[in-house]
Amino acid sequence: MTGTVNHGRTGQLDDVTFDQMRRLVGLVEHDDSKDPFPVKALDAVVFVVGNATQSALFYQVALGMELIAYSGPEHGNRDHKAFVLKSGSARFVLKGAVDPDSPLADHHRHHGDGVVDLALEVLDVDKCVEHARAQGATVLEEPHDVSDEHGTIRQAAIATYGETRHTLLDRSHYTGPYLPGYVARRGGYVKPADAPKRLFQAVDHCVGNVELGQMDRWVEFYNRVMGFVNMAEFVGDDIATDYSALMSKVVANGNHRVKFPLNEPAVGKRKSQIDEYLEFYRGAGCQHIALATGDIIKTVTAMRAAGVEFLNTPDAYYDDPELRARIGEVRVPIETLKEHGILVDRDEDGYLLQIFTKPIGDRPTVFYELIERHGSLGFGKGNFKALFEAIEREQERRGNL
Ligand SMILES: [Fe+2]
């Protein structure tokens, strides 16, 4: 199958081909006709932040994203400002309260900067909602049309973990820059002349942290309500260190375009990173978003130069003689991976390179991952222990271990 990744007729995000996407995020064949809840794509990751005006600049300067649309008081939205940014097929929306009485202000007071909506582009909103409701989902917004001069979007929303939702959209009859109520907008920020065109091409996966004992409930929710399949299974012992332990399972839509790992804390000697997240986010929520890049070295170099901080990986990780045996040949020398702090993992399908940022907000909650896949459909299981030891060093510095 060839062609572009179809985000409807907006033309805004159609610049990553299907074959590129298959390599970047590891797509598999899937027959939509038998799917009770056919998902086309992750439509957008929607954040509530304390200062959307400034965050929009951070996402342009530090993550290399492009500002494409805006909603705010100048255009009749007196409640909040919202900035829409894209990078390849990835779309992020940043919302910040303007009206002190906005529900977004309350949300931010409670949770801090975080993800409120993992919006999904679907083939048939009504069919998805009908299936979800029959399977016991909480329908937050009934299917309805929203229209402007660019056409009509059919949308609805269902609840997932914590105060997170999945808005479901059919944008096949819409040509505007994002949604009705938004206007096209470009950023004033000018990239350096030698900057890469973009630093990532797609969202690979979005991880949810849920409370102790709730992981299987949410795996089952995605299986039953949204027809997602189980991709991989980790158990506590695989990814435990002395202090942090967690359990993680991964669900994905039929063609694996949308992948949601779900973590819950496991009992360790002291507070785990998942417990820290749940405490500071005040409940379940989105922990990290993995950004797919075709050149992780270039991406990390550009992001570091712009001030993004990444977790340090201990030298011992690279000097371990077992590492070379475990990973075999990869496209860059281990010395280069060490220089950038990039982790590498291999499974039966291939390998992947990955690295994690420090939390991007004030609270120790949401962070990003960069991932470069070479056949592997995994999530870096072999790196979990090395990663968590690095996270714990940071947690200890914050006094939360
Ligand atoms: Fe991840």
- Global confidence as pTM: 0.92
CA of 297 to the centre of ligand 1 (A): 18
The reported pLDDT for the residue numbered 36 is 93
Across residues 137-142, what is the average pLDDT? 98
Output the CA 287–ligand 1 centroid distance in Å: 9
376 alpha carbon to ligand 1 midpoint, in Å?
Answer: 13
Mean pLDDT of 144-148: 98
From the CA of 400, how far away is ligand 1's center (Å)? 22
Mean pLDDT of 223-232: 93
As annotated, the residues of the chain forming the CATH 3.10.180.10 domain(s) are: 18-184, 202-398
Distance 79 CA to ligand 1 centre (A): 33
* Structure-model confidence comparison of residues 64 and 395, the more confident one: 64
Domain 18-184: CATH architecture, name and number where available: Roll (3.10)
Distance 130 CA to ligand 1 centre (A): 31
- How much is the pLDDT for 10? 35
Please write the tens of the pLDDT for every residue from 66-104.
Answer: 999 999 999 999 999 999 999 999 999 999 999 999 999
Instruction: Using the structure block, give the residue that is written with the tokens 């220089």.
Output: 339
Q: In angstroms, rounded to a whole number, what is the distance separating the alpha carbons of residues 381 and 378?
A: 7
Task: For residue 181, give both structure tokens.
Answer: 């109520």
Residues 271-317: tens digit of each pLDDT: 788 999 999 999 999 999 999 999 999 999 999 999 999 998 888 78
CA of 212 to the centre of ligand 1 (A): 19
CA distance 171 to 224: 25
Encode pLDDT of 8-52 as tens digits. Answer: 333 345 578 888 888 899 888 888 888 999 999 999 999 999 999
The answer to whether 181 and 77 have CB atoms below 8 angstroms apart is yes
CA pair distance 326, 214, nearest whole angstrom: 33
The rounded Å distance from CA 373 to ligand 1 centre is: 12
pLDDT tens-digit readout, 339-362: 999 999 988 899 999 999 999 999
φ, ψ dihedrals at 140, nearest 5°: -85, -30
Neighbours of 306 (CB within 10 A): 16
Measured CA to CA, the distance from residue 110 to residue 281 in angstroms comes to 7
Helix or strand holding residue 106 (H, E): helix 103-111
3-state secondary structure of 314: coil
Cα of 294 from ligand 1 centre, angstroms: 16
Q: How far is the CA of 182 from the centre of ligand 1 (A)?
A: 31
Mean pLDDT of 128-154: 98
**Which CATH fold topology does 202-398 show?**
2,3-Dihydroxybiphenyl 1,2-Dioxygenase; domain 1 (3.10.180)
Which percentage of the chain shows pLDDT scores above 90? Answer: 71
Beta bridge partners of 194: none
**For 386-389, which contacts have Cβ atoms below 8 Å and span 24 or more sequence positions?**
386/313, 386/314, 386/317, 386/343, 387/311, 387/313, 387/343, 387/356, 388/239, 388/241, 388/244, 388/273, 389/241, 389/314
Least confident of 27-36, 129-138, 171-180, 217-226: 27-36
State in Å: Cα 38 to ligand 1 middle. 23
Distances (CA, A) of 55 to 23, 150, 156, 356: 30, 28, 27, 19
Q: What is the pLDDT of residue 217?
A: 97
Q: Taking 80 as the threshold, does the pLDDT of residue 62 lie above it?
A: yes
Quote the DSSP letter at residue 7: B
Q: How confident is the model at residue 177 (pLDDT cuts 50, 70, 90)?
A: very high
How confident is the prediction for the chain on average, in pLDDT?
Answer: 90
pLDDT at 111 over 50: yes
The CA 138 to ligand 1 mean position distance, Å, reads: 27
Q: pLDDT per residue over 233-263, tens digit each?
A: 665 555 556 556 788 899 999 999 999 999 9
- CA–centroid distance, 147 to ligand 1, in Å, is 36
Dihedral angle computed from the Cα positions of residues 335, 381, 354 and 44, in that order, rounded to the nearest 10 degrees: 180
**pLDDT score recorded for residue 2:** 36
Ligand 1 geometric centre to CA of 269 (Å): 24
As to burial, measured by CB atoms within 10 angstroms (0-12 exposed, 13-18 middle, 19+ buried), residue 283 is middle
Task: Say how many Å lie between the CA of residue 270 and the centre of ligand 1.
Answer: 23
pLDDT over 60 at 168, yes or no: yes
State the pLDDT at residue 6: 41
Q: What is the pLDDT of residues 322-339, one digit of tens each?
A: 777 878 889 999 999 999
State the distance from the centre of ligand 1 to the C-alpha of 260, rounded, in angstroms. Answer: 9
Q: Give the pLDDT score at 234.
A: 60
Q: Using the mean position of ligand 1's atoms as its centre, give its distance from the Cα of residue 290 in Å.
A: 5
User: pLDDT-based confidence at 396, cuts 50/70/90?
Assistant: confident
pLDDT at 383: 80
pLDDT at 382: 78
